[in-house]
Copies of this chain bind each other. A is one copy, B any other.
Amino acid sequence: MILSRARSIVFDFFMETILCGVDLGGTKLSAGLFDLKGRLLDKTVVYDHVDKNEDMIVEQIALLVKSLLKKNELEEDILKGIGVGFPGHLRFREGITITTSNLPGFVDYPFKENIQQFFSAPVIVDNDVNAQAYGEYKFGAGRGHDNMIFLTLSTGIGAGIILNKKIYRGKTGTAGECGHTIMDINSDMQCSCGNYGCWMALAGGHSLPKLFQKKMESGIGTLLNLDWNFSYSQVDGEFIKKGLDMEDPVCVALVNDCADYNGIGIYNLFQIFNPSMFMLGGGLMNWGPDFHMRIQDKFSSMIKNMLHDPVEIVLSTLGSDSGLFGAAALVLE
């Protein structure tokens, strides 16, 4: 009998339980099986969940997990638990979603309870950034850093906060929304929240079209060959990355500004949390090492002699599956 990969690993390590992680995103839905050391045993990914309603997505998640178990010839009772990362706000204790800007619906939806109906193993649902932070703490470069801040620099900006070895969630479960903290009170950059000058408005992916337009209008010449039908709304992280690769002055200046804002944001969080590590993840980190270095330099220029113990500002290590690792790690919290 030929054993599946997951099953053979389970036997190899004489393990009695494995972890299941589910990462629900705006474009992909994935499920993975992990051993207790965070090694990925098998995973499956689908993209056809986006147009489904909440109940249908719940059923799809249940089916995905059950199929993955079956494919690996595993029974459900081998699962220590099922962690689910949700791309938005939720009431953690109740497992009720509040909002998400990545999927339709999910307003006051009893997500955890409805998934739980399909399983006997415990289901834990949390915000995806919290999950990633905890995944990095348990399985990634954050190991040993009992007070660390995981920052996602992406369309939005947010933090997963590990304090005293646990995820810090606050009263409702919405802690870590540092992207909405005001950094430039007189800025004309408006965030989707309605306020002006918050971190996300100044350096988040959502603001790139406006930031690019402002740089263009400031008179810096671009090397980019913009189509006759170019619209600023096309500008996203990848667009800017292409500009960086050809050393386009507009893109370089924009990325430098964003790096400076991120450095200041990290400085602000340092003053509040005095953590031992900041970890940077999210799509905008693809802008590369110069971006990362400038963030560090800005932080250093702000903190001066107020740093009494070293603090690391490192890159996320779990890569494109970090959401899946994080979701599985939730089971171990």
Interface residues of A (CB under 8 A from B): 89, 91, 98, 147, 159, 161, 163-164, 166, 168-186, 193-195, 264, 267-269, 271-276, 302, 304, 306, 308-309, 311
Contacts and interface: CB of A to CB of B under 8 A. Distances in A.
Contacts of A175: 272-274
B274 A173 contact: yes
Contacts of A173: 274
A308 B268 CA distance: 24
A304 B147 CA distance: 30
A104 B18 CA distance: 58
Contact of A159 (B98, B193, B272): B272
Given A182-B268, A182-B302, A272-B272, 4 more contacts: A163-B164, A179-B271, A184-B185, A268-B268
A269 B177 CA distance: 9
Contacts of A91: 308
20 contacts: A91-B308, A163-B163, A163-B164, A164-B166, A169-B274, A170-B273, A171-B274, A171-B276, A172-B308, A173-B274, A175-B272, A175-B274, A178-B272, A181-B181, A181-B267, A181-B268, A184-B185, A186-B186, A194-B304, A272-B272
Most buried by B among A89, A172, A178, A306: A306
Contacts of A276: 171
Contacts of A179: 271
A302 B180 CA distance: 10
Nearest to A182: B264
A30 to B, nearest CB: 28
Contacts of A181: 181, 267-268, 271-272
B171 A275 contact: yes
A147 B170 contact: yes
A298 to B, nearest CB: 11
Contacts of A161: 272
A78 to B, nearest CB: 32
- Select the residue from A161, A182, A311 with max chain B CB neighbours within 10 A: A182
Nearest to A195: B302
Nearest to A276: B171
Contacts of A186: 184, 186
Given A184-B185, A267-B182, A193 B306 contact: yes
Contacts of A164: 163-164, 166, 168
Task: Name which of A168, A174, A274, A311 has the most chain B CB atoms within 10 A of its CB.
Answer: A274
B89 A178 contact: no
Contacts of A272: 159, 161, 175-178, 181, 269, 272
A183 B184 CA distance: 6
